[in-house]
Amino acid sequence: MRHRYLGITTAIAVMSTMGLAGCSGTTGSGDVTLKLVAADYGNSPETSSSVYWKKLASEFERTHPGITVDVDVRSWKTVDADVAALVKKGQAPDMAQVGSFADYAEAGKLYSADQVLSVPVQSGFVAQLAAAGKVDQTQYGLPFVASTRLLFYNRKLFDEAGISAPKDWDDIRSDAEALKAEGVPVPFALPLGTEESQAETMMWLLSGGGGYTNSTDDSYSIDSDENVKTFEWLQKNLVGKGLTGPVKPGELDRADAFKQFTEGKVGMLNGHPTLMNSARKAHVDFGMVPMPGKDGDVKSSMGVADWMMAFKQNGHAQQIGEFLDYVYNDKNVMDFVKQYDLLPVTYSANTLMAQDTAHNDLREFQKTLDNAELYPFGKSSWSQVSDEIKKNIGKAVEPGADPRQILTRISKDANTADATEAGK
């Protein structure tokens, strides 16, 4: 997948009058039970995504007699592997809301978007997100929610250290040193553990002028000179100076880093929109700025999309389409993104969010969509490569390690995986 940038601000203005199709009427096609496996965005029984999905399914069933929706919400840590296991056993769900789709599309297991969605719904997706859902020029991945990343910092700790928000890497280092001198346990949290280190890695690669893939031939370029220099800097200037806290970055998960931030133990870290709500509940006074580049502003920041996909196995294209049309109406989209402080994936819902003063903080994340780059979702090898990064990238910043050697091994394995998938 080529580098994709999300120019959403202009697109929202152009598309602001568009409305999404809502409920598409009763099916009249006999009793069908649809199986949906979805990821859990909550962190407690009260905030679990199962509450949202079961309510939505119940409302849908009332207006669509003959269709029952069986919702199975799984942890983000296991949902991709759980769906893969079901597919391998020949028990694919009708729909899955997970983190990747390309390998299933390559294997011919998915309905394309135009096979299940009404035209108004399919055309309502933000164009660049829809493009990121394509494999061989056909859209199989339906964007479900999006987010970008900003650098969060604890204002109280910064004030006590007499420092301001960083504008480049030198500022990050000097701010972290000042925080350490004030006794802050974790001046800069660097979660390169197995939970979501592919995201932390990408943020740093982009801020260093690199990225996961080569824009010329779309091959993985994880060991590019820019990327190696980025990890050498992290190793020398943050980890090597004891500025990332007592836990090794390779053993620190995002959730633990976020928790420490809400406990006032972290000076700064990269975060997504859901961290805002957790920090507010914990009465942490925080600020947010775009992730600084090595020498200042960056050309592109990181954007993330999670995906919905529809499996062919059970042959329920019509019923799947009716349910997904309902899922993507403005009310249901907004109900979900408002609950979890995420960004909508449709033009009309983005317009609603931009017009609602209650979402002023999220507008800062919306602004960064203008120059955001996504993971290489269109590569069927991406899920395998992502797992490889999660398992090994933390080693590249350990004292005494050779970042180039580790990045070269990851990049070589990535391109091997890519060639294998392409040859299937």
Output the pLDDT for position 404. 98
Output the pLDDT for position 424. 64
* Tens-digit pLDDT profile for residues 282-311: 999 999 999 999 998 888 889 889 999 999
Output the pLDDT for position 402. 98
Percent of the chain with pLDDT over 70: 92
| Ordered structural domains, the chain, with CATH | 8-147+303-373 (3.40.190.10), 150-290+381-423 (3.40.190.10)
Output the pLDDT for position 335. 95
Strands 142-148 and 301-310: antiparallel
Please tell me the pTM assigned to this model. Answer: 0.79
| Biggest CA-to-CA distance, the chain | 69
For residue 26, the number of C-alpha atoms closer than 13 Å in the C-beta half-sphere is 7
Output the pLDDT for position 385. 94
Amino acid letter, 422: A
Distance, CA of 17 to CA of 36 (rounded, Å)? 31
Secondary structure E strands in 137-292: 138-139, 142-148, 150-154, 186-188, 266-271, 286-289
Distance, CA of 158 to CA of 74 (rounded, Å)? 38
Per the CB < 8 A criterion, the answer to whether 293 and 166 are in contact is: no
Q: What is the DSSP string of 155-199?
A: HHHHHHHT----SSHHHHHHHHHHHHHTT-SEEE----STTTHHH
Under-70 pLDDT residues of the chain: 1-30, 370, 422-424
